[in-house]
Amino acid sequence: MRLPHNAHVAIVDGENFIVMRNTGQPFEPKLENATKPDLDATNYSAGVKHQDSVSQALGRTDLDELAHGAAAAEWLNAKAVAGDISDLLVIADPKTLGEMRRHYHGELEKRLVGEIDKTVTGEPTDKIEQVIAKAE
């Protein structure tokens, strides 16, 4: 995947949210400057469609995780609207990514250079860089 120099990379799952910058070249990403934004996961309307009794019984629905994904999207929306983000790659587990997409602002969508539906939180930086480089 081509990741522009200085692009932001949001790495998200149901509990974690890290934002990094690509200080490398477009086809050779080098991620640095990791920050963990403080989120206020208050959007518990997130995931309402997932609240059927079958999903709850099988443990497939965790409203805290879905609210965290919505909060991450809202934080990114605010940064995009303020002009603090010009290029953005989102890497998130499939469920979180799906929830985040429901909350993307139009300004954020304009700045998306890609999405990768994979869980990479907790992985070393060099492994995340490899995931980006191999993505299409």
Tokens of 90: 């989102």
pLDDT at residue 57, rounded to an integer? 58
Nearest residue to 75 (alpha-carbon basis) of 28, 3, 12, 127: 12
Topology at the third CATH level for domain 8-134: Nucleotidyltransferase; domain 5 (3.30.420)
Q: Where are the domains of the chain?
A: 8-134
Question: Which residue ranges of the chain lie beneath pLDDT 70?
Answer: 41-62
Name the residue among 101, 81, 83 with its Cα closest to residue 92: 101
Please state, in angstroms and rounded to a whole number, the distance separating the CA atoms of residues 51 and 74: 22
pLDDT at 63: 73
